[in-house]
Every structure is written in C-alpha cells, then in structure tokens.
Amino acid sequence: SSTTSSQDLPVGVGDISVTGLNQTNSPNVSSSLSQYYNEKLISHVTGWHGDQAERQARRYWEEGISVGSFHCGQVGVELKRSRSLVRLAEIQSTLHEQRILFLSTQVHELESMKAPSFSSH
C-alpha cells in the first residue's frame, strides 16, 4: 500500500543522524532552475523544532522495536527449553512405567514358580 506520509518509510539509525546533518546543505538544482531558487524563501520551513521531535520519536520507536524483539526472542528460547523439559519428563515417566510393568510381571512369574514348589514338599 502506498502512502504519502514519510513516517511510514523505514529509516535506519544512520539515516536519522545524516538527516540532521544535511539540513543546512542546499538542494541540488539544475542550472536551468537555479535562477528560480532562493534559499531565503524556504528557510522558514527547514529546521523546525518538530523535526527534532520526530527524529527523537523515531529513535524511541526503533529502540522499542529492538527491545521488544529481544524479549520475544528470549520468550521463544524459554518456551523451547520448557517444551524440551516437558518432553524429557514424559520420556522418563514412560520409562518408569515400563520398568514397573516389567518388574510386576517378573514378580508374578517368580510367585507362580514358588507356589507349586512349596505345595509339592
């Protein structure tokens, strides 16, 4: 989607500082239009206080995005770690259940072997 607002354009951190430095430079005007260009006529619309506030707001927005991304990454790592721990606990539980079943069958087999031998004596 196309918008006419410059606020929606992606701006890097380096772009912000470069914008602040280039405010005093006059734009490049072709020789045919140079007679119509006068720096004094546009000076009232350059370097407004709002420009600095916009740059600061953009910096805060970028910082917020990076901090949010960092925290989302941490949450993702913790979630994967927790899932791994749950899976490990499930595997250990299954192994314990299998051991219990195996030992209970061993006990039943031993009891069935002992019972007839005692009755014959």
Asked if residue 5 is part of any domain, the answer here is no
Do the beta carbons of residue 83 and residue 41 sit within 8 Å? Answer: no
CA torsion angle 91 94 95 100 (round to 10): 160
How many domains does one find in the chain? 1
Residue 22: which of 59, 55, 47, 58 has the closest Cα? 47
Check residues 55 and 21 and name the one with the higher pLDDT.
Answer: 55
Residue 2 covered by a domain: no
| 74 is a domain residue | yes
pLDDT in tens, 8-41: 444 444 444 434 444 445 567 788 888 888 888 8
Of 52, 28, 51, the closest CA to residue 39 belongs to: 28
pTM: 0.46
Residue 48 lies in a domain: yes
Residue 6 within any structural domain of the chain: no
